Amino acid sequence: MKGRVDPKSGFVVDLKQLKDVMNREVLDALDHRFLNKEVPEFLTRIPTTENIAIAIWERLQPKLRSAQLHRVRVYETPDLFVDFYGEA
């Protein structure tokens, strides 16, 4: 996330709010799921780490109000990760 540091709270983003959105929009939908069969995005796209990063961005971005989504990073293993910045 990125944004101006709120002068009253000193936060870029309310972490509790972010956590709630993340849990509701992303984790509830993906955690313990068979990605290919149970997550709608992956009925038409291969669930590569690239596409998982894009799907998470698309799920989060419209729901985040207080600050701007800067990057989604998905670690597939400790040695391999994908970053998505919302670039076309």
Q: Which residues bind another protein (CB under 8 A)?
A: 45-51, 53-54, 78-85, 87-88
Q: In the bound complex, what is the minimum distance in angstroms from residue 58's beta carbon to another protein?
A: 10
Q: C-beta of 23: minimal distance to another protein in Å?
A: 24
State the Cα–Cα distance between residues 80 and 57, nearest whole angstrom: 18
In angstroms, give the least distance from the CB of 71 to another protein: 9
Give the helix/strand (H/E) hosting 82. strand 80-84
Residue reference for tokens 């955690």: 31
Task: Tally Cβ neighbours within 10 Å of residue 72.
Answer: 21
Q: List the structure tokens of 60.
A: 């989060």
> In terms of CB distance, is 20 or 76 closer to another protein?
76
37 or 80: whose CB is closer to another protein? 80
